[in-house]
Amino acid sequence: MVTLNSYITTPVFGGQEGELYNDILCTTKDTANGTGGGFWVKDSGVTKAINIKHPLATIVVNADSVAIRGMTVTYRLADGYGNVTFGRGIDALQRRPVHLNAREVLLAVFGRAGPTSRFDPRQVIHNIGFVVFDIVTGQIQTYGPFGNTASTSFGEPFHVTNVVGFGGFHDQTSEIGLSGLFFIKDMNML
């Protein structure tokens, strides 16, 4: 049986201020031993495979009343080798964790992104939420939206399905923190 691995990256939602980051790498071939393909992370300079079926363990959203200021994402490694965690942006007043157990997948991400106000054109992620699916029970849980859910959000709504990883733009020294996000999707999950 031949398995084709197809991964795509979405457009950026929000802004592009700060440093570009991409939590995971997508390959069609394991360059270490010449087999398979999949998702990989760099952990202290070492390339490690991610659990393809259940890559996400925890997402912590750091927000204030204006926008999402940072996110910390924990990925499960393949073959039970533990987890790898990446923190992006800055800490904020509200810290909202979303825990996914070993039989749950991130079905969708939704939110609003756009200018911080009518008078400030800087682009941000105003709020974000997650839909989690339990592949054993068929149950769905929704977490969020976290961040600015008031009518002062000038952003446009967005939604993305089958998310297996995160990337974006962040600055750990400014008030913006996390300015924009893009998502890595596994097209095999359709």
- CATH code for the domain defined by 5-20+52-73+82-184: 2.100.10.30
In angstroms, the CA 20 to CA 143 distance is 26
pTM of the model: 0.85
pLDDT: is 29 or 63 the higher one? 63
pLDDT in tens, 23-35: 877 665 544 444 4
More confident position, 154 or 22: 22
SS (H, E, C) the chain: CCCCCCEEECCCEECCCCEEEECCEEECCCCCCCCCCEEEEEECCEEEEECCCCCEEEEEEEECCCCEEEEEEEEEEHHHCCEEEEEEECCCCEEEEEECCCCEEEEEEEEEEEECCCCCCCEEEEEEEEEEEECCCCCEEEEEEEECCCCCCCCEEEEEECEEEEEEEECCCCCCCEEEEEEEEEHHHC
Q: What is the mean pLDDT of residues 31-60?
A: 73
User: 2: pLDDT confidence band, cut at 50, 70 and 90?
Assistant: very low
Q: Decide the pairing of beta strands 123-134 and 19-22.
A: unpaired
Give me the pLDDT at residue 83, please.
87
CA-to-CA distance for 187 and 190, rounded, in angstroms? Answer: 6
